[in-house]
Amino acid sequence: MREVALADLPGLVGQDLGVSDWLEITQERVNQFADATGDHQWIHVDVERANREMGGPIAHGFLTLSLIPHLASQIVRFTGVTRGINYGSDKVRFTNMVRVGKRVRMRQKLLSCEPKAGGLQIKNECTIEIEGETRPACVAESISILYGA
């Protein structure tokens, strides 16, 4: 994991911050996400039908997107930060299905860093890759505000 001081962030704009570890997408995780969101579409949770009609169940796109904070925590640790808040996302695209049993990881690039509301607003390009696939599962611009001491 890379360690970056809050004061050094502006100098890293345009750079890759790193890559997370691989994470297996299990049926249990998909089912838990379905329960949490109320999205029980059969392509996610009906394993028998999904196996029969489409080669197996797939993860929700929003499940894939929701992994960004977890995967990002493996890539970089910001020092000198007292708190960070999620400010939103731009340009979210689901470019490939994640089949249950596949592993994903995230590649993160710092796109911008600007003063905002007493902190630094950062925008990261988050690319969630699927092991063994050329097309990523998701590409999103994640926006956060980090506050220092």
pLDDT, average across residues 111-122: 95
Contact 128, 137 (CB under 8 A): yes
Each residue's pLDDT tens digit, 83-109: 999 999 999 999 999 999 999 999 999
Q: What is the pLDDT of residue 1?
A: 86
C-alpha pair distances (Å), 17 with each of 48, 53, 110, 111: 40, 40, 7, 10
All domains of the chain in start order, with CATH: 2-148 (3.10.129.10)
Instruction: Report residue 149's pLDDT band, with 50, 70 and 90 as the boundaries.
Output: confident
Q: How far apart are CA 66 and CA 68, in angstroms?
A: 5
Q: Is the dihedral of CA 148, 9, 91, 104 positive or negative?
A: negative
Q: What is the pLDDT of residue 58?
A: 98
Each residue's pLDDT tens digit, 41-98: 999 999 999 999 999 999 999 999 999 999 999 999 999 999 999 999 999 999 999 9
